[in-house]
Chains A and B, each alone.
Chain A
Amino acid sequence: EAGVTQFPSHSVIEKGQTVTLRCDPISGHDNLYWYRRVMGKEIKFLLHFVKESKQDESGMPNNRFLAERTGGTYSTLKVQPAELEDSGVYFCASSQGHGTSISGELFFGEGSRLTVL
């Protein structure tokens, strides 16, 4: 079974440009999460989808960040326009729905490293 996959693994862009990160969760997982770690800081929650709906987007830093999950499958996270402080590693995670998971274990992808110059 394929795990959570993220693309690209590394992106280097200039300040002011746009970047779109993609996450493919484990097939059948209703829950999809975005996290990020900026240099030297802790891993921070960004938002949580349940299927195609945003359950919790309290961690989104500002309106330059837009997350979508059309059709409840893969998700994209767009940063537009990118700023220097957006540099970091963006992790995606997925988990089964409450009715099928006891542990609520989150499965994380390898992350997308974003460098804004």
Chain B
Amino acid sequence: DAKTTQPPSMDCAEGRAANLPCNHSTISGNEYVYWYRQIHSQGPQYIIHGLKNNETNEMASLIITEDRKSSTLILPHATLRDTAVYYCIVRVAFGFGNEKLTFGTGTRLTIIP
């Protein structure tokens, strides 16, 4: 799986949009971008994933650049409960055999009241 680069930490004011960047310059054509987060000591939680089009769900939006070498996870209205470590992971398409997730160090997002 391609490696990703994320800033180690970020702060965001409560109620504002949190924009978390991720670089994945060596991503392959069959690799998706996944985002997970880990709140305190809980198990990781899936947020969103995409291939090349922008995606949105009830939790977040994912913006992938046209060359697919970077992406941004957007939490539109951050709350204190969004304080967590956010992981950007690239992974081959589900069902092609290598479905394990490779976690990096992630970005520690702190929401400030």
Contacts and interface: CB of A to CB of B under 8 A. Distances in A.
Interface in A27-78: 31, 33, 35, 42-45, 48, 55-56, 59
A108 B44 contact: yes
Given A4-B43, A91-B44, A111-B43, A104 B95 contact: yes
Contacts of B105: 42
B100 A89 contact: no
Contacts of B103: 35, 42-44
12 contacts: A35-B101, A43-B38, A45-B101, A48-B100, A104-B49, A105-B49, A106-B44, A106-B46, A106-B101, A108-B44, A108-B45, A109-B43
Nearest to A91: B43
Interface residues on chain B, size class: 20 to 34
Interface of B: 36, 38, 41-46, 49, 91, 93-95, 97-105
B100 A98 contact: no
Interface residues of A, number: 28
Contacts, number: 56
Contact of B100 (A4, A42, A59): A59
Contacts of B49: 103-105
Interface of A: 4, 31, 33, 35, 42-45, 48, 55-56, 59, 89, 91, 93, 95, 98, 101-111
A43 B102 CA distance: 8
